[in-house]
Amino acid sequence: MATINFYGADWCGDCRRSKKLLDSNNIEYTYHDVEIDDAARAKSQEISGKMSIPVIQFEDGSFFVEPSDPELKAKLQELGLLA
């Protein structure tokens, strides 16, 4: 089981798009709302070095900031989470 941490906010269009991709492919992840969780906001900034969201961190330690759908799909395939 892959461990994916997703740092985002409900108002963020890129966050909604990436969540939709994960949800539609039944990919499990832990969602951290940076709007209501100061620790999550700090962690997302620590990971990425930026204030941008979404930050999606994978079990191999890699992460994406504002990934496109093709980028995210390719990573999920690389991790064996998508056929």
- CATH number at 16 reads 3.40.30.10
* Distance (Å, whole) CA 28 – CA 42: 23
* Number of domains present in the structure of the chain: 1
Residue-number span of the structural domain to which 12 is assigned: 5-59
The residues, any chain, with a CB within 8 Å of residue 2's CB and separated by 6 or more, are 27, 28, 58, 59, 79, 81
pLDDT tens, position by position, 8-23: 999 999 999 999 999 9
Is 81 a member of any domain?
A: no
Residue 50 within a domain: yes
pLDDT at 1 over 60: no
Q: Would 72 be classed as within a structural domain?
A: no
Whole-number Cα distances in Å, 76 to 57, 62, 73: 11, 12, 5
Which residues, in sequence order, are bridge partners of residue 65?
55
Pairing outcome for strands 30-33 and 5-8: parallel
Does residue 70 lie in a domain region? no
In a domain, 46, yes or no: yes
Whether the predicted model's global pTM rises above the 0.85 cut: yes
